[in-house]
Amino acid sequence: MVLDNFFKDLKDKKKKIAVIGLGYVGIPLLINLGKYFRTIGFDINEYKVNNLRNNKLEDIFDLSDFNKIDCTLTSDEKILKTANFFIVVVPTPVNKHNDPDLSAVINATKIISRNMPKNSIIVYESTVYPGLTEEVCIPLLEKESGYTNKTDFWVGYSPERINPGDKKYTLENIVKVISAQDDFSFKIIEKVYSKIIKAGIYRAESIKVAEAAKVIENIQRDINIALVNELAMIFSKLNIDTNQVLSAAKTKWNFLDFRPGLVGGHCIGVDPFYLTYKAKEFGYHPEIILAGRKINDNMSYFIGNEVIKRLLNNCEAKGKLKIVLFGVTFKENIKDIRNSKVVDLYEYFKQYGINTEIYDPIADQSMAFDEYGIKIIGYNDIENIDAAVFCVAHNSFKSMNMVSFKSRFKSKNPYIFDVKGIFNKKVIESIGYKYWRL
């Protein structure tokens, strides 16, 4: 197969690029690729595919772009037979034991194997442990398809780096790390991604290097946040305002400005376990990585304890306590609630018999109920409460009228618990609130 002919067929739209997995990563990738190539957006979830066709899904994207590109949205895997360049962007969660759940990657690999023609290239973007692409995916592709690797098909790995909801660091503005089995396949993969990536391409020396680079990006953030979370717990006991300490410390040019908070979602709270799983396989028990995970996983209980302690010590809080949590998504200004640590906080309060409700104008309400049994209330349903716990820094929360909001409380001097530090302490206290922040 000649390099120029392969890419020329893609460019001339004789062949298609298929994106497998239509979530926060797959959708922008598909939209951008569709500006230059014929594309297929595939997902096994037919309901999601239908919603995408009707512009009814993923509110952080402008889905009207689908009307401007050459794209087929489908849950019918037979349509994939018309593609010869496949990009896998399915989720890679962990199970209840924090071991990698590879079912989506394996299923996607089998689907591609059943439908890819000879002379295909498959690029994995899903976050995995170092070695998975070559040790699991390639043998499976050979077994299921009957083809021979590096003769009938080639494989690459290019870790996704999308930050959902970020308007500055979008797909095209983030350097793209790519890797491949040989120069031949690398050049084709580079040509494809270069059409949509403005920030540039970085070639990793091997697929394992690219896999490892991705997983440590989130591990580094996880550990740094864990450090600040531990400092916040210490400073709380010392009656020192953590935010004031961090503001003073960051005046030094090389201080890393991480902030305390709940660490959930499908990346930072999950990816470290992929590397620790592989490390244990080789007889090494990671200490710092797992310690960071333990601290961050337990922050919900620390925050919950601080809230209960302060409310019980407040003589104005009488009878059964009523608390409203503001925000349930795993990060600000998106609807995704996967692995949200706010749910842990909710369950913690419920365990102590506290009347606890959640208000979130952005979160996917049906998903909250289906996955957690949580019914999200409306703003007008907030009344006669003892405390408001702001867990997520949604823009709509930052712009709330905190003066009129006081009418929703039982007390004249009610409590505001600010997990993300979204309010000015002096301003909030001047209104008449009692204020605590992490």
User: Minimal CA–CA distance to 371: which of 338, 331, 344?
Assistant: 338
Q: Tell me: the pLDDT tens digits for 91-102?
A: 999 998 999 999
pLDDT of 59 strictly over 70: no
Contact (Cβ atoms closer than 8 angstroms) between residue 106 and residue 114: no
Mean pLDDT of 369-375: 90
Q: What is the mean pLDDT of residues 164-176?
A: 83
Q: pLDDT (tens digit, 9 = 90+) per residue, 141-158?
A: 999 999 999 999 999 999
* The pLDDT value given to residue 191: 95
Looking at residue 56, what is its pLDDT? Answer: 57
Phi, psi values for residue 123, rounded to 5° = -115, 125
| pLDDT (mean) for 227-248 | 95
Query: How is residue 122 written in tokens?
Result: 């498959």
- 192 and 215: one domain? no
**Domain limit, last residue, from 175, 204, 233:** 204
Query: pLDDT tens-digit profile of 255-307?
Result: 999 999 999 877 888 999 999 999 999 999 999 999 999 999 999 999 999 99
For residue 168, what pLDDT is reported?
Answer: 79
Q: How far apart are CA 339 and CA 207, in angstroms?
A: 28
Number of folded domains that form the chain: 3
Q: What is the CA radius of gyration of the chain?
A: 24
What confidence tier does 364 reach under pLDDT thresholds 50, 70, 90? confident
Overall average pLDDT of the 348-359 stretch: 94
What is the Cα–Cα distance from 161 to 149, expressed in whole angstroms? Answer: 27
User: Does 195 lie in the same domain as 65?
Assistant: yes
Q: Clarify whether residues 384 and 428 are in a common domain.
A: yes
| One domain for residues 44 and 92 | yes
Mean of the pLDDT values across residues 347-375? 92
Q: Are residues 129 and 27 in the same domain?
A: yes
**Based on the domain organization, do 183 and 320 belong to the same domain?**
no
Q: Which of 170, 204, 238 is the last residue of a domain?
A: 204
Q: Which has more confidence, 130 or 333?
A: 130
pLDDT at 334: 86
The strand ranges marked E within 67-135 are: 71-74, 83-88, 120-124
Q: What is the pLDDT of residue 113?
A: 97
Task: Note the pLDDT of residue 437.
Answer: 92
Q: Are residues 23 and 158 in the same domain?
A: yes
232 and 282 assigned to the same domain = yes
Q: Which residue has the higher pLDDT, 324 or 61?
A: 324
3-state secondary structure of 38: strand
pLDDT at 376: 95
Report the DSSP pairing between strands 355-359 and 322-326.
parallel
Helices (H), 197-337: 207-237, 242-249, 271-281, 288-297, 299-312
Residue 367 in this model has a pLDDT that exceeds 90: no
pLDDT in tens, 406-424: 999 988 889 999 999 999 9
Q: If residue 114 lies in a helix (H) or strand (E), which one and from where to where?
A: helix 103-115
- Higher-pLDDT residue of 55 and 418 is 418
**Which of the two residues, 320 and 219, has the higher pLDDT score?**
219
Can you tell me the distance from the alpha carbon of 205 to that of 215, in angstroms, rounded to the nearest whole number? 16
Active-site annotation, residues: 267
**Residue 204: how many CB atoms within 10 A of its CB?**
21
125 and 238, same domain (yes or no): no
For residue 145, what are the domain limits?
A: 3-204
Q: Are residues 266 and 308 in the same domain?
A: no
- Cα angle for residues 403, 404, 410 (degrees, 5° grid): 95
Residue 412 is predicted with a pLDDT of 83
Does residue 420 sit in helix, strand or coil?
coil
Q: What is the CATH number of the domain that holds 171?
A: 3.40.50.720
Residues 162, 228, single domain; the answer is no
Q: What is the pLDDT of residue 62?
A: 60
> Of 204, 222, 238, which closes a domain?
204
Query: Are both 240 and 165 inside the same structural domain?
Result: no
Supply the CATH number for residue 232's domain.
Answer: 1.10.1040
